[in-house]
Amino acid sequence: MADLTDASIPKFAAGCRWGGTTEAPVVLFPEGAIRVEGTGRIILELCDGHFSLAEIVQKLEAQFMLAPKGKIRADVETFLQQLHAKRIVDY
């Protein structure tokens, strides 16, 4: 697996994109779809190729100010690594 660092720019892997409806968005990928809600959706919306991991974490920390230090970064990393193993997100 590729290393996920501050400078990594996570984005949808080949053949992965948004689908479904605005109320119930899904991520479509070869042979499957996942429904993403809440924080997962916020993270994935930032995976548009414009933001590095450090910037994504910064944005989330600004939005969720009460989260314990380091927790947001750990959660974002785990989430992106899981999607990377499924070839939904590349970085």
Partner 1 sequence: MPNPLALIAEITHRCPLHCVYCSNPLELTSRNEELATADWLRIFAEAAALGVLHLHLTGGEPLARPDLAEMIEGARQSRLYTNLITSGVGLSRERLAQFVEAGLDHIQLSFQDSSGGPANWIAGARAHAHKLELAAWIREHQIREQQTGERRIAFTVNLVVHRQNIDHLEEMIAALEALHPDRMEIAHAQYYGWALQNRSALLPTRAQLDRAVAVVAAAEERLRGKVRIDMVVPDYHARFPKACMGGWGRQLLLIDPAGRALPCHAAGVIPGMFFDNVRDHPLAWIWQNSAAFQKFRGEAWMPEPCRSCERRQEDFGGCRCQAFLLTGDASATDPVCELAPLHHLIEDAVREHATAGPVPAAREASFHALQENTAGFWSYRTDPK
Residue with Cβ nearer partner 1 (13 or 61) = 13
| Helix H or strand E encompassing 27 | strand 25-29
- Residue of 5, 6, 7, 19 that binds partner 1 (CB under 8 A): 19
Determine the Cα angle at 31 with ends 30 and 35, to 5°.
90
70 near partner 1, judged by CB under 8 A: no
Choose the stretch contacting partner 1; rule: CB under 8 A; options: 16-24, 36-44, 53-61, 64-72. 16-24
Contacts of 8 (CB under 8 A, 6+ apart): 2, 52, 53, 91
Residue 60: CB minimum distance to partner 1, A: 23
Residue with Cβ nearer partner 1 (22 or 65) = 22
Do the beta carbons of residue 80 and residue 91 sit within 8 Å?
A: yes
